[in-house]
């Protein structure tokens, strides 16, 4: 959209070729920065929502607090309260 407006400004004599090139480069840089920022924010959102759902490796337990696998060969460990 902005590229079309810049080309129209050159056609009507409002901008010369050097000015149009500069504006095209600025528009391209802004588009790149916007993409970078939105992808970074999306990554933070995914990490923030997924982190509570990850089972810890050091002490994996189910929702009731019981271990997911036996750690000893003795009687089962009671759930955490």
What pLDDT, on the 0 to 100 scale, is given for residue 49? 80
Residue 53 carries which DSSP code?
G
What pLDDT, on the 0 to 100 scale, is given for residue 36? 95
Domain boundaries, the chain: 2-51
What pLDDT, on the 0 to 100 scale, is given for residue 8? 85
d(CA 1, CA 45): 30
| Residue numbers in the chain where pLDDT is lower than 50 | none
What pLDDT, on the 0 to 100 scale, is given for residue 37? 95
Specify the DSSP element, H or E, that contains 31: helix 17-50
What pLDDT, on the 0 to 100 scale, is given for residue 5? 82
């Amino acid at each position: 959209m902005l590229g079309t407006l810049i080309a129209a400004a050159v056609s009507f004599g409002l901008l010369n070729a050097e000015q149009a090139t500069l504006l095209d480069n600025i528009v391209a840089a802004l588009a790149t920065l916007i993409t970078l920022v939105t992808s970074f924010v999306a990554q933070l959102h995914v990490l923030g929502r997924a982190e509570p759902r990850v089972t810890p490796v050091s002490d994996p337990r189910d929702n009731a607090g019981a271990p997911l696998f036996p750690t000893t060969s003795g009687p089962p460990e009671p759930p955490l309260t």
